[in-house]
Structure 1
Amino acid sequence: MSPTGTPASPTGTSAAPVPLPARHTFRSVAPVLALCWLAVFFDGMDVSVYGAVLPHMLDDPSLGLTPAAAGAIGSWVTFGMLIGALGTGTLTDWLGHRPVLVTSVLVFSAGSAACAVSGGPAAFGAGRFLAGLGLGGLMPICLSTVMEFAPPRRAALATGLLMTSYHAGGMVATGLGLTLAPALGWRSVFWAGVLPAVIAAPLLLRLLPESPGVLLAKGRTAEAHAVADRYGMARPAPADAPPQGAKGRLGSVLALFRSGVRWATPLLWLASFCGLLLVYGVNTWLPQMMRTSGYGLTSSVSFLLVINAGGIAGMFLAGRTADRFGPVAVSALWFLLTAAGALLLGRHLPLGLTYVVVALTGIWLFSAQTMVYAAVNHVFPPADRTTAMGWVTGIGRTGAVVGPWLGGVLAAGGNSRLGFAVFASAGLLGAAAIGLVAVATRRGRG
């Protein structure tokens, strides 16, 4: 034994001390959160870019885009997201989080490039559908990864922090729409959407760790323990590992309807439907709705920037509040406040007051949906969360399909201002659905 108490090596020299595992804190998992934040940033940028340049596209006679076609195309991208999200849970449990995430980034970057070179509405819509496939796969993976790596009892805050990137991306997309589109044309903004393939994909492939639960399920126990130790996490137990094989993947889906959660599952789907109808409907049509309400083009596009800025602030507020009071209660309240904000926006208020209402509505609107995702972490055990998240986001994408389509129908009929009442109704329905999740889980466990 050496004088310091360190065991001596056979040669008589002191052996190097064994490093202690890291403590599980936000600091220990910061690299993982940062990489997922970057991926979702580009997700938000790609989703919001369509709404940011839509007024310029409608004014471009060479494209031949009508309001009805614009609404349909907005739904094509979200239909692609639906397909991508539903397949994500199964693919990630089979192939792993990292390869599916990198592929998703490459796919939606390719879709953005296809939009930039499109010659008409059909080709443009095909590009948006391709982008939707990649975007739909990205979000469930990043959400489940962050929830797995988040410190104990901080999953809601970690989810909120992750989703700030979505709105930061939306703000950048709006900035590009305000600067690049008038000077270089709307196509230049979609060329900027190719950047994720150049920036995010190499970083994710090189630096993002694989899920310890997936590694354990594949029999790579030593690697699973090494990843958990590196980030200060508890080592995964066999019960935390997703089932493997075709039978196991089918069992993961059937587990969403087992005793205890069978009623909570469809309620989460309905809440996600309402939340995503609001998110994508507002991101696509807010500038045009405000324009038809009497505001100028520049102000109308700027409202999209302001509502996403409110979304960033709302994520911090919702995350911290949900870790204390639970994401279900917070989501229900946020949906109600969103409905109130949508009704106020339907009135032509003074410009300064309108900016305040838009910002406040952003605080509630986007984080209401995010807390639906956080509720998945409370309702389902670790082995089922990736599949549950894929289905909650996937089924919810039907709302993302309906929102832009419905906005297009109202715009084509000259009734864009009715969109505010439609969005308020979605907020009320979302509040009822997520509020009943608590009742359903209590009855199921009883």
Structure 2
Amino acid sequence: MNRSPAAPRPPHTFRTVFPVLALCWLAVFFDGMDVNIYGAVMPHMLDDPGLGLTPSTAGTIGSWTTFGMLIGALTAGNLTDWLGRRMMLVSSVTLFSIGSAICALAGGIGLFGTGRFVAGLGLGGLMPLCLAMVMEFAPPRRAALTTGLLMTSYHAGGMAATGLGLSLAPAAGWRWVFWAGVLPAVVAVPLLLTLLPESPGVLLARGLRERADAVADRYGLPRPTAVAAPAAGAKGRLAAVQGLFRPEARWATPLLWLASFCGLLLVYGVSTWLPQMMRASGYGLSSSVSFLLVINVGGIVGLLIAGRTADRFGPVRISAIWFVLTAAGALLLRSHLPLGVTYAVVAVTGVWLFSAQVMVYAAANTVYRDSERAAGLGWVTGIGRTGAVVGPWLIGTLAGNGNESWGFTTFALAGLLGAVAIVLVPLARRAGRSGSSASAPLTAAAPADA
């Protein structure tokens, strides 16, 4: 089939990407709300004798959630060429809304844990899909900033969850907070179905050339080529995964996985346990839950700063610095500081903590080609979810033994290890290219690092 003639199209700017960014922002907002709901209501759940929740089982259930995320992240990318990114996003939102309803209805920890696992399946698939969509539609030199803007929604959702935990849980009970987690199916799903465009690359991979060109023209994107489009079918999915280990990426890929492991251990360990850890450190119940609100406010500020600075200085450098500063903040929180000082330290730590992980995603965007982007981000977030599994479980084990303060040391060590891993990514890429050039000296040189 001949390609349709190019039609006049708008310039590729933030204005043209805004509809996609806004819809993905809404989806990730509900993602952040659902993830943070558990931590926001955990103190109330621990005080509910009918549920039978203990600190140890609370950590285990937190890991069930993130184990579901691991499966969801690794599965979503492989189903994209079959269902499309838009339908996978709709399925993800629907799934974690159902999981929240199960939690609201649960009469014991078994069914509650099942609900969190189901929610995790949806939550795990949503993030890499939204990241891939936004990076595909974003202006090339503003990928890090656009990623940062997208991820502010996660923290806005975390703030909403904290507000629900502070206002709704004491008055109506923790179950009503989980009923609020059903709202995404009512609000976001209809909007995604009617307004979100499909990825031009995915449309091309499914043989829909005219639709792919039409979407690209409407949003000011270059028309997709066969090289940029992910190949369809099982062979295409296998090729995309194999591409993560081509010479230029074979060493960078495991380093990105390690950095993502550390970043998500921090994100989900803090989101799940910060209120209870601060409560165990001697702060009151309301103050302890409020710390979750404050750290998410810091997260929003940090993402706005990190996105702009990463577009200028590179996401690898910013991620590494942010990881180190996160480690310093975690060590400061080991001490019982005056309440005002503690709020300030928590806020500043939030500035670094969450955006350190988001800049890992932006760094992955510089490593993988267009046709590998969805698979690369899926595996970076998916393997990283093992850190999200380990974090809540490990801190829960420490809390069960009365050693909550060691959780801050764990967070500091994770920050330092994440900094080392992400700093080595450019070196690994250069080593891979050097080895490839040595074995095939007549091939064209690879492009320089972004």
| TM > 0.5 | yes
Which structure 1 residue ranges, 4+ long, deviate > 6 Å from structure 2?
A: none
Report the counterpart of residue 31 of structure 2 in structure 1: 43
1:293 Cα shift? Answer: 0.9
Q: Deviations over 1:138-188 (max 9, x none)?
A: 001000000000012100000000000000000000000000000000000
Alignment of 1:277-316 (within 5 A): 277-316=265-304
1:19 Cα shift? Answer: 7.4
The answer (yes or no) to whether the contact 1:111–1:127 under 8 Å persists in 2 is yes
Q: Deviations over 1:216-248 (max 9, x none)?
A: 111111111111111111111211000112111
What CA distance in whole angstroms lies between the structure 2 residues aligned with 1:421 and 1:288?
Answer: 16
Q: Deviations over 1:271-313 (max 9, x none)?
A: 0000000000001111111111111111110000000000000
Q: Does 1:221 align with 2:209?
A: yes
* 1:53 paired residue among 26, 33, 41: 41
What CA distance in whole angstroms lies between the structure 1 residues aligned with 2:329 and 2:426?
Answer: 25
The aligned length equals 429
Q: Which has the larger radius of gyration?
A: 1
SS for the counterpart of 2:227 is helix
What CA distance in whole angstroms lies between the structure 1 residues aligned with 2:226 and 2:44?
Answer: 54
What CA distance in whole angstroms lies between the structure 1 residues aligned with 2:247 and 2:231?
Answer: 19
Q: Does 1:437 align with 2:425?
A: yes
SS for the counterpart of 1:239 is coil
The answer (yes or no) to whether the contact 1:98–1:209 under 8 Å persists in 2 is yes
Q: Does 1:152 align with 2:140?
A: yes
What CA distance in whole angstroms lies between the structure 2 residues aligned with 1:94 and 1:254?
Answer: 19
Report the counterpart of residue 391 of structure 1 in structure 2: 379
Alignment of 1:114-125 (within 5 A): 114-125=102-113
Q: Does 1:263 align with 2:251?
A: yes
Report the counterpart of residue 22 of structure 2 in structure 1: 34
Q: Does 1:67 align with 2:55?
A: yes
Report the counterpart of residue 3 of structure 1 in structure 2: none
Q: Deviations over 1:14-52 (max 9, x none)?
A: xxxx97311111011111100000000000000000000
Q: Does 84-93 or 270-279 show the bigger shift?
A: 84-93
What CA distance in whole angstroms lies between the structure 2 residues aligned with 1:94 and 1:440?
Answer: 33
Q: Deviations over 1:170-217 (max 9, x none)?
A: 000000000000000000000000000000011001110000001111
Structure 1: gaps spanning 5 or more residues = 1-17
SS for the counterpart of 2:349 is helix
1:93 Cα shift? Answer: 2.8
* 1:162 paired residue among 118, 133, 150: 150
Report the counterpart of residue 103 of structure 1 in structure 2: 91
Q: Does 1:359 align with 2:347?
A: yes
What CA distance in whole angstroms lies between the structure 1 residues aligned with 2:326 and 2:29?
Answer: 23
Q: Does 1:92 align with 2:83?
A: no
SS for the counterpart of 1:398 is helix
Alignment of 1:411-422 (within 5 A): 411-422=399-410
Report the counterpart of residue 205 of structure 1 in structure 2: 193
The answer (yes or no) to whether the contact 2:81–2:233 under 8 Å persists in 1 is no
1:389 Cα shift? Answer: 0.6
Q: Does 1:77 align with 2:60?
A: no
Q: Does 1:426 align with 2:420?
A: no
What CA distance in whole angstroms lies between the structure 1 residues aligned with 2:39 and 2:267?
Answer: 12
Report the counterpart of residue 175 of structure 2 in structure 1: 187
1:92 Cα shift? Answer: 1.0
* 2:363 paired residue among 366, 375, 378: 375
The answer (yes or no) to whether the contact 1:89–1:388 under 8 Å persists in 2 is no
Q: Deviations over 1:294-339 (max 9, x none)?
A: 1111111000000000000000000000101111111011000000
Structure 2: gaps spanning 5 or more residues = 1-5, 435-450
SS for the counterpart of 1:236 is coil
SS for the counterpart of 2:39 is helix
What CA distance in whole angstroms lies between the structure 2 residues aligned with 1:364 and 1:445?
Answer: 32
SS for the counterpart of 2:30 is helix
SS for the counterpart of 1:251 is helix
Report the counterpart of residue 13 of structure 2 in structure 1: 25
Q: In structure 2, give the amino acid aligned to 1:159.
A: T
Report the counterpart of residue 227 of structure 2 in structure 1: 239
SS for the counterpart of 2:343 is helix
SS for the counterpart of 2:310 is helix
The answer (yes or no) to whether the contact 2:72–2:121 under 8 Å persists in 1 is yes
What CA distance in whole angstroms lies between the structure 1 residues aligned with 2:221 and 2:31?
Answer: 27
CA RMSD of aligned residues (A): 0.9
User: Given the two structures, how large is their TM-score scaled by the length of structure 1?
Assistant: 0.95
SS for the counterpart of 1:257 is coil
1:88 Cα shift? Answer: 1.4
Report the counterpart of residue 137 of structure 1 in structure 2: 125
What CA distance in whole angstroms lies between the structure 1 residues aligned with 2:117 and 2:84?
Answer: 24
1:392 Cα shift? Answer: 0.5
Give % identity: 74
Report the counterpart of residue 440 of structure 2 in structure 1: none
Report the counterpart of residue 13 of structure 1 in structure 2: none
Q: In structure 1, give the amino acid aligned to 2:240.
A: S
Q: In structure 2, give the amino acid aligned to 1:66.
A: T
User: Given the two structures, how large is their TM-score scaled by the length of structure 2?
Assistant: 0.94
SS for the counterpart of 2:178 is helix
The answer (yes or no) to whether the contact 1:308–1:362 under 8 Å persists in 2 is yes
The answer (yes or no) to whether the contact 2:7–2:217 under 8 Å persists in 1 is no
What CA distance in whole angstroms lies between the structure 1 residues aligned with 2:289 and 2:166?
Answer: 7
SS for the counterpart of 1:128 is helix
